[in-house]
């Protein structure tokens, strides 16, 4: 039997080379998939379960976020200790006056009607109701006046951002209408908020619905039925889409926070100031799932006449 040869290296390490061992041939590595080109000025894609980033574009650059702010509004309410989703909130005229004054998107809440917190969350997230945002901030903030309560609620939103280590995020409104332009985030930060929010079952149930009907107690004592349609056209258009929130503003541009699930895998993503936000989202999700591109084939779910756009 032949002895293996022992070879001494200059550094003192001994390697044993056997003449019987054939040299191993490395398997060729697959070519990396090219990252998609997107219209958005800022974008991000992450694994929901692990937080692993799959894509980033200007991911840490702060930008205005418009109504994607309402994700924070919703999750602050939902993580309030002992929150009662069946608690009834009376709609104030101030909420209607606010959306009229700002020209804001609305759930068309009627003064004197009583809606549950759960219903208001759908009014917040589907038609992007700024009146619903006002109602929730006024209800869950602390203080003697509406101004004090809404200010304190925005403080809760900032505390939530701090707890999630959203270092470059600042909220100065409860709905994304920013008077001073200081309502900013980054794609990476907003993805952290999206992942945290998506862990909440009620939040998931709210944002995945393409429409929602709320039977509220009208000011007359009768029942009024509100019907809201989700402004997120990715739902019902992209296979596996399950949320999450649109946003549009003069400074922010078109924005979208999105999520999709296929099998056991869920990805969440962010598009800030994207002129083609839905195709951007489809491209990023295709990239994450390793799927054949659907972006060119995607046909967006139409919204009924009169439905809110955001």
Based on the residue annotation, tell me whether 211 is a catalytic residue of this protein.
Answer: no
Would you call 173 a catalytic residue per the annotation? Answer: no
Active-site position among 122, 128, 197, 237: 128
- Marked catalytic residue, from 70, 192, 245, 283: 70
Q: DSSP letters of the chain?
A: -PPPEEEE-TTS-EEEE-TTPPPPPPPPPPPPPPPPP-S-SEEEEEETTT--EEEEESTT--EE-GGGGHHHHHHHHHTSTT--TT-EEEPPHHHHHHHHHHT-----PPTT-EEEHHHHHHHHHSS--HHHHHHHHHHHS-SSSHHHHHHHHHHHHHHHHHHTT-TT-B---SSS--SSS--EE-HHHHHHHHHHHHTSHHHHHHHT-SEEEEEEE-TTSSEEEEEEE-S-TTTTTSTTEEEEEEEEETTTEEEEEEEEEETTEEEEEEEES-TTHHHHHHHHHHHHHTPPP-TTT--PPPPPTT----
Query: Do residues 125 and 197 make contact, with C-beta atoms less than 8 angstroms apart?
Result: no
Respond yes or no: is residue 237 known to be catalytic. Answer: no
Token reading at 200: 């909440």
Query: The tokens of 189 are what?
Result: 């930060």
Annotated catalytic residue within 67, 105, 122, 173: 67
| Contact residues for 77 (Cβ-Cβ < 8 A; gap 6+) | 83, 117, 121, 136, 140
Closest CA to 289 of 241, 243, 256: 241
By annotation, the residues acting in catalysis are 67, 70, 128
């Amino acid at each position: 039997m032949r002895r293996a040869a022992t070879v001494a290296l200059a550094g003192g390490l001994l390697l044993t080379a056997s003449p019987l061992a054939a040299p191993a041939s490395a398997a060729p590595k697959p070519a990396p998939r090219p990252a998609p080109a997107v219209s958005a000025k800022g974008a991000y894609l992450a694994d929901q379960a692990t937080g692993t980033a799959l894509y980033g574009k200007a991911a840490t650059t702060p930008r205005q976020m418009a109504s994607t702010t309402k994700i924070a509004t919703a999750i602050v309410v939902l993580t309030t200790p002992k929150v009662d989703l069946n608690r009834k909130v009376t709609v104030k005229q101030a909420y209607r006056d606010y959306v009229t004054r700002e020209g804001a998107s609305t759930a068309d809440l009627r003064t004197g009607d009583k809606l549950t917190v759960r219903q208001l969350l759908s009014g917040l997230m589907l038609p992007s109701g700024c009146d619903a945002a006002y109602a929730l901030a006024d209800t869950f903030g602390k203080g003697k006046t509406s101004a004090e309560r809404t200010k304190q609620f925005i403080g809760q939103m900032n505390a939530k951002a701090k707890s999630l280590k959203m270092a470059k995020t600042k909220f100065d409104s409860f709905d994304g209408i920013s008077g001073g332009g200081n309502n900013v985030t980054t794609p990476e930060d907003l993805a952290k908020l999206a992942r945290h929010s998506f862990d909440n079952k009620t939040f998931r149930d709210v944002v995945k619905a393409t429409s929602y009907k709320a039977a509220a107690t009208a000011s007359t004592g009768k029942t009024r039925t509100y019907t809201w349609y989700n402004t997120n056209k990715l739902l019902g258009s992209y296979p596996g889409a399950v949320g999450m929130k649109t946003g549009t503003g003069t400074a922010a541009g078109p924005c979208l926070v999105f999520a999709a699930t296929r099998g056991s895998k869920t990805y969440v993503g962010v598009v800030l100031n994207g002129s083609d936000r839905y195709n951007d989202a489809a491209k990023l999700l295709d990239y994450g799932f390793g799927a054949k591109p659907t972006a060119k084939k995607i046909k967006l779910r139409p919204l009924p006449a009169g439905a809110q756009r955001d």
